[in-house]
Each structure stands twice: as C-alpha cells, then as structure tokens.
Amino acid sequence: MTQLATTIHGSIVAIVTPMFEDGSVDWDGLKQLVEWHIAQGTHSIVAVGTTGEASTLSMEEHIKVIAEIVRIADKRIPIIAGTGANSTSEAIELTQAAKEVGADAALLVTPYYNKPTQEGLFQHYKAIAEAVDLPQILYNVPGRTGVDMDNDTVIRLAKVANIVGIKDATGDIPRGIQLIHHLDPVDMVVYSGDDETAWELILAGARGNISVTANVAPHAMSQMCLAALDDNKAEAHRLNTQVSQLHDILFCESNPIPVKWALHEMGKIGTGIRLPLTPLAEQYRTPIRETLQATHVIETN
C-alpha cells in the first residue's frame, strides 16, 4: 500500500473557505474551522477544492489559504491541496506552490470545459507528476466537469511516479469496485468522493471519503469511515443512515451554496460566498434547518 494510504485515510473534509459578506476571506473563521475539525476527529483536510471555491479565489489567495491551513494544522493531520486546473501549466504552478507551503499531497480535478481526450488526460497528469515531486491524487467528477476519466486511463496513470490515489466521485459503486480490483495498492489507492455511497466503497477497499457532509457532521462522518475501514458493515450502515439526509439536502443547490449556508446556520461561519455563486435560495432554508435538527447537528429550540 502506498505511504499516502497509511497517512491519509478515513474522513477527509473538503473544507469550505469562510468569507465575510463582501467576499473577503475570513482568516479567523478558517482557523476556528480547522481546529473544530481536528477536535471532532476529521482525519485529513482538502484545502481549496471545489467546496473551498477554488474557481473564484485568485492565485495568491488560493496559495495563501493552503498555507494557512497547513500552518494551523501544524502536522496534526495531513493537508491535501486542491491544485487542479484545466490548464496544465497552471496546475503545475499551483501544485509546486502547494509543495512549497508544506502540503502533504495535491488533489487534481480533471480539466474541465476544454474536454480533453483520454490521451490528453493521461498526458496532463503525467506532466504534473513529472514536474512536481509531491504525492498526487486524481479527481474524477464527471457530473461537475463534463469530463469522465476512464478506468483504463486511471490504471495507466497508476504506474506514473507521484500519482498515488484517485478520488472517485462518480457514485458508481460497481465501477469503483472494478477500479479497486484492477489497481495495485502499492501504486494507487481509491478514495470515495460521493458521500451517499462512500461507506459502500470503503467496505469494498477504498481508503476513505473526501466529503462535503463532513463540513457539518465531522464526528459522525469520522466514525462512519472508521467503521467501514474496520469492515464493520452493520455499524457503518447505521452511522451512515444517521446522516444520510444531509448527503441529499447539501446538494439542493450547487455545492458549496447549501453547505456554507448550513455552517452559517450552525454559527460556524459568516454569510460570504463569491459570485457567480449566490446565497441559498429562501425555499431551501427551512428544509436544511430541519435536516440539521433531525440529524442532531443543531438542537431544536
């Protein structure tokens, strides 16, 4: 098994980037969130992924958020930097910067919008891996990017030095299991990127879950992932059932709109979010509030 799999496993939160109403980054709020996650049992943090609004942060802000999370965590848990881009040169620049500020690994989404071929995807990731000596996790989320990386391409990339993992956010369990069975864990391990099905994929051999739900229910997601890693199917299913309503409601609008509003409702962050994303629509606020109460994330009055 890769060294990464022994150090990065379990519940991995794709953390939001707290902002003030004017859209500026709330650095004190970020520190409080990181400390809360560590106290709640979160096993690792993805800094500036999709949920962290990577697409609207400037390059300088992007690197500064990664550096700040690395500093706050102070090696207590591993930090994975979101450094993907649809420009290979930009992804290399971000990944190099993440290495320089002390990130433990990088998470690289498939290039979106320009829709590369499978060979283009292979060459993109190979170029980044050869340019930056940092453990790299591929990220396949076709529902978000419009690009789907075939299992065959992933298997090819597993033989490239520095490429050590993949976040599979397809939600397709048979496909994920097939990938796990075809990969040598010495070369590459699989992480779920789909909260609803994560417990099943971990039971099938995935090493953890890169999670949106963990933003609001970090302890529950941590315990669920540990149960699945221990091959305790009954307990993993029970724990997942406790928070399963969150998996659905937190995608009632585009991520991270609902999860940022939920965290604000919990008193964890302010209301800030950057255009073109907008605050949660009024019609979803009561359903999310009720779900937070039903799952005991917040207490009823």
Three-state SS at 2: coil
My answer on whether omega of the bond before 185 falls inside 30° of 0, hence cis, is no
Query: Does some domain include residue 271?
Result: no
Give the number of other CB atoms < 10 A from CB of residue 18: 25
What is the longest distance spanned by two Cα atoms in the chain?
56
If one counts the domains in the chain, the total is 1
Handedness of CA 181, 183, 185, 189 (dihedral sign): negative
| Cα Rg of the chain (Å, integer) | 18
Query: Does some domain include residue 272?
Result: no
Question: How much is the pLDDT for 234?
Answer: 98
> Which domain, by its residues, includes 185?
3-241
Three-state SS at 91: helix
Length of the chain equals 301
Question: How much is the pLDDT for 298?
Answer: 79
- Residue list for the binding site for pyruvate: 51, 210
| Tens-binned pLDDT, residue by residue, of the chain (301 aa) | 677 767 899 999 999 999 999 999 999 999 999 999 999 999 999 999 999 999 999 999 999 999 999 999 999 999 999 999 999 999 999 999 999 999 999 999 999 999 999 999 999 999 999 999 999 999 999 999 999 999 999 999 999 999 999 999 999 999 999 999 999 999 999 999 999 999 999 999 999 999 999 999 999 999 999 999 999 999 999 999 999 999 999 999 999 999 999 999 999 999 999 999 999 999 999 999 999 999 999 765 4
Query: Does some domain include residue 114?
Result: yes
Token readout for 111 is 């290039």
Residue 75 belongs to domain with CATH number: 3.20.20.70
Token readout for 195 is 């909260």
Query: Does some domain include residue 287?
Result: no
Give the number of other CB atoms < 10 A from CB of residue 286: 9
Question: How much is the pLDDT for 300?
Answer: 52
Query: Does some domain include residue 213?
Result: yes
Question: How much is the pLDDT for 5?
Answer: 66
Catalytic residue numbers, as ranges: 139, 167
- Residue list for the binding site: 51, 210
How far is 282 from 258, CA to CA, in rounded Å?
Answer: 11
Query: Does some domain include residue 264?
Result: no
Query: Does some domain include residue 256?
Result: no
Query: Does some domain include residue 19?
Result: yes
